[in-house]
Amino acid sequence: MKKKAQAADVELAPADQWSGIAEALKPLDRLARKMELKWGAGRLPALVEPELASLFGKARDKLNEAIQSNNPDVIVRRVQVMIRGWEKLDAVA
């Protein structure tokens, strides 16, 4: 018998935090789109050394965790790390 998948418990941020979170993500979204147009969707991490690709993946995971936590301050810090990560991948590739 198969078990039904259960949705993860997610605590929703107050409505006033949603706009701040969305604004914090916009610069990262713009840069990610730019890099994917330049290198191809999902290709850039595969073009660099595995260690750098791994660091980038860990940074992405931490950003996703921050988004799940609905903490704008943490999200802003993680967005800054991801922006530096995209720039580093682009420079090395």
* Domain ranges across the chain: 21-92
The answer to whether 81 and 26 have CB atoms below 8 angstroms apart is no
Taking only Cα atoms into account, the Rg of the chain, rounded to an integer number of angstroms, comes to: 16
Summarised one tens digit per residue, pLDDT across range 34-84 is 999 999 999 999 999 999 999 999 999 999 999 999 889 999 999 999 999
Binned at pLDDT 50, 70 and 90, residue 90 comes out as very high
Token pair 């073009």 in the structure block, residue? 47
The structure tokens listed for 3 are 């078990």
Residue 73 carries which side chain, given as an amino acid letter? D
pLDDT of residue 18: 82
Query: Has residue 1 got a pLDDT over 60?
Result: no
How far CA 53 is from CA of 2, 8, 17, 37, 84, in Å, comes to 36, 28, 31, 18, 13
